[in-house]
Amino acid sequence: MASQPLRIDIISDVMCPWCIIGYRQLAQALEDTGTPHEIHWHPFELNPNMPAAGQDMFEHISEKYGSTRAESLESRDRMAKLGADLGFDFQWPDDARMYNTFNTHQLLHWSEAYGRKHDLKQALFTAHFTDRRDLSDPKVLADVAGEIGLDRSEALAVLDDQRFADDVRNAEKFWLKQGIQGVPAVVFERKHLVTGAQGTQNYTQILKQLATL
């Protein structure tokens, strides 16, 4: 088993701050332990019924979780500090918005054929949380794809004709049927499920335990 890279399936959404925090924690643990691995990203929509134009983040968090503005600001500060420790820059302007991500998942599905899914995923996290770009705009999504070397025109065409809509819906349904209710959700070797951002130390312990199996 040691000669085989560890298969890691990550179910996540680019609107999810804990997804990038959790990934960065896992990535650090993988580096610290020198674990050979292969990562496979899968779609999950935090808010599948979100209108295309999105919603103000304070308003959204208040409606979904009942959080006050003060609680939201405290949570943002905590995530910003965690992100900074992991080399990720969270920017939280007062007008930050939550967007529908069905198109982002279609673009990610398309990028897999070019071996760039991981790179695009990271670029989309940065576009949303650091640069605060409007990921509800197909032109912005195509720009992000183009900036990592993918064909911008093809990206636009993919979003225009929605050719991967069914594939993404089927993938989302598959993970829902597996009991995935929230993200990040990480599945090691197709059988060990870990949910939430666990922290680098916990991920390190998990990797060490898996190495003994």
87-127 pLDDT tens trace: 999 999 999 999 999 999 999 999 999 999 999 999 999 99
What pLDDT is recorded for position 183? 96
Closest to 98 in 3D by CA, of 65, 141, 129, 67: 129
- Asked, for residue 168, whether it belongs to a domain, the answer is yes
Task: Say how many CA atoms lie within 13 Å of 128 toward its Cβ.
Answer: 24
- Asked, for residue 187, whether it belongs to a domain, the answer is yes
- Asked, for residue 166, whether it belongs to a domain, the answer is yes
- Asked, for residue 67, whether it belongs to a domain, the answer is no
Q: Are 76 and 11 in contact (CB under 8 A)?
A: no
- Asked, for residue 91, whether it belongs to a domain, the answer is no
- Asked, for residue 159, whether it belongs to a domain, the answer is yes
- Asked, for residue 64, whether it belongs to a domain, the answer is no
pTM for the whole structure: 0.95
**Number of structural domains the chain divides into:** 1
Q: Which H/E stretch holds residue 157? A: helix 152-161
Q: Give the percent of the chain with pLDDT over 90.
A: 93
Segments forming the whole domain that contains residue 178: 6-50+102-211
> What CATH number is given to the structural domain containing 152?
3.40.30.10
- Asked, for residue 58, whether it belongs to a domain, the answer is no
Angle made by CA atoms 86, 17, 71, in degrees to the nearest 5: 105
Non-local CB neighbours of 165 within 8 Å, separated by 6+ positions: 102, 106
